[in-house]
């Protein structure tokens, strides 16, 4: 197997990633349990907080609802290193600095080529991703002593900020703001920490101190298009963002790509008829990807409410969390409980 990657080096700067149990099951099946565990930190759950004061609104407690289940957070570079090492050890050839312009003829070509996938375009025709009206800053800062290993999500009108501790003494920050347009060339660019601080100046609690410590940040325009209609044509197939670009509001885009990859390989292993295997892959994966993408889109609306809507929604969340602490977890349990390595699931 050969991987063609246009980047000159496998690295990802300034960003962490949440690895929920559904993705971890695949990493474990690949023999990477120890490598990922050693390079990552645990995540005890998610705390939803008001942006202005930092006051707790509701808590989703992973440890309480799924004791022992691997909820981890990891620097993307560490995740990529572990995957690269394992792939090379199994004889995969990784050709860096190789941009695919014309799709090469091959018995099987898998397009894991992201939002602007050429393989998706070959299968579905040209589609232009649309700007979602949101941008995301990403930054890493040193972790303060005694930090709790939970993700904290601060909600405000038209914006929210998520932060969690990573391993290696780092804290990851993702800050999302609604914007009317994205005029920059390209999809990501270096961000200005002062712009980030200004956009979240109305936020309080620990956010002010965290943002004061941001020295570098990146800024992403969040684009997407619909889940692809056609995922394969018998010799070419797509997975991950190429098939279903996923907004980061459920932290599942990379997790879905990892799930896809396992199911695609398992279908190909199980069936000598490649066309039938690829058809099975699409039928297994398309409904789940569609459901996760829709849930992620809905979160963007919920996190960014303003005025009376926000007051009412946060009061309901607070009451619900106090009266029935498992309610919020039950609403997302289907995401985490899924086992992609069980093709009957
Ligand atoms: C702010 C933010 C936070 C996020 N947080 C999380 C999270 O916590 N958990 C999570 O699961 N997901 C998260 N995501 C989503 C996640 O980053 C994406 O869904 C995931 O990276 C998609 O993986 P992919 O491999 O499909 O595509 P990509 O990561 O886009 O990889 C595509 C690769 O293909 C290469 N490529 C593209 N075109 C060509 C070509 N023509 N020739 C050669 N190479 C090419 C690219 O260089 C790239 O390496 C987040 C996203 C954002 C923006």
Contacts of 30 (CB under 8 A, 6+ apart): 86, 262
Residue-level pLDDT, tens digit, the chain, 345 residues: 999 999 888 776 558 999 999 999 999 999 999 999 999 999 999 999 999 999 999 999 998 999 999 999 999 999 999 999 999 999 999 999 999 999 999 999 999 999 999 999 999 998 888 898 999 999 999 999 999 999 999 999 999 999 999 998 999 999 999 988 877 656 678 889 999 999 999 999 999 999 999 999 999 899 888 999 999 999 999 999 999 998 889 999 999 999 999 999 999 999 999 999 999 999 999 999 999 999 998 887 777 766 666 666 666 666 666 666 677 888 889 999 999 999 886
- Model pTM score: 0.93
In angstroms, the CA 169 to CA 16 distance is 12
For the Cβ of 99 lying below 6 angstroms from any atom of ligand 1, the answer is yes
What is the reported pLDDT for 213?
97
For the Cβ of 5 lying below 6 angstroms from any atom of ligand 1, the answer is yes
CA 318–ligand 1 middle distance (angstroms): 34
The structure tokens listed for 262 are 């396992």
CA 245–ligand 1 middle distance (angstroms): 9
The residues facing 58 across adjacent strands are 48
Ligand 1 atom with minimal separation from the 245 CA: 19
The SS3 assignment for 236 reads strand
For the Cβ of 195 lying below 6 angstroms from any atom of ligand 1, the answer is no
Q: Are 174 and 168 in contact (CB under 8 A)?
A: no
What is the reported pLDDT for 321?
66
CA 254–ligand 1 middle distance (angstroms): 7
For the Cβ of 249 lying below 6 angstroms from any atom of ligand 1, the answer is no
Query: Could you tell me which of 250, 327, 320 has the C-alpha nearest to residue 57?
Result: 320
Query: Could you tell me which of 245, 161, 169 has the C-alpha nearest to residue 203?
Result: 161
């Amino acid at each position: 197997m050969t991987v063609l990657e246009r980047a000159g080096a496998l690295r990802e700067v300034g960003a962490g990633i949440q690895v929920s149990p559904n993705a971890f099951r695949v990493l474990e099946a690949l023999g990477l349990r120890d490598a990922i565990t050693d390079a990552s930190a645990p995540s005890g759950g998610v705390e939803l907080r008001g942006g202005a004061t930092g006051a707790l609104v509701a808590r989703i407690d992973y440890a309480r609802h799924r004791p022992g289940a691997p909820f981890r957070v990891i620097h993307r570079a560490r995740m990529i290193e572990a995957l690269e090492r394992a792939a090379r050890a199994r004889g995969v050839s990784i050709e860096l600095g190789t941009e695919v312009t014309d799709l090469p003829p091959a018995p099987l070509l898998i397009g894991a080529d992201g939002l602007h996938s050429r393989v998706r375009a070959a299968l579905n025709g040209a589609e232009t991703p649309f700007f979602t009206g949101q941008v995301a800053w990403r930054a890493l800062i040193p972790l303060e002593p005694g930090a709790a290993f939970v993700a904290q999500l601060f909600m405000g009108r038209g914006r929210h900020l998520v932060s969690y501790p990573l391993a290696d003494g780092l804290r990851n920050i993702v800050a999302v703001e609604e914007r009317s347009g994205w005029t920059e060339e390209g999809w990501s660019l270096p961000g200005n920490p002062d712009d980030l601080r200004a956009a979240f100046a109305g936020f309080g609690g620990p956010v002010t101190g965290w943002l004061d410590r941001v020295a570098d940040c990146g800024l992403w325009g969040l684009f997407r298009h619909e889940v692809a209609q056609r995922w394969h044509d018998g010799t070419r197939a797509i997975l991950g963002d190429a098939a279903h670009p996923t907004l980061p509001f459920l932290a599942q885009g990379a997790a879905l790509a990892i799930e896809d990859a396992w199911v695609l390989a398992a279908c190909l292993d199980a069936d000598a008829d490649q066309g039938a295997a690829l058809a099975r892959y699409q039928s297994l994966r398309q409904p789940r990807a569609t459901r996760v993408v829709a849930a992620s889109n809905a979160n963007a609306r919920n996190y960014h409410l303003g005025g009376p809507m926000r007051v009412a929604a946060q009061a309901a969340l607070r009451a619900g969390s106090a009266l029935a602490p498992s309610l919020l977890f039950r609403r997302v349990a289907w995401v985490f409980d899924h086992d992609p390595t069980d093709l009957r699931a």
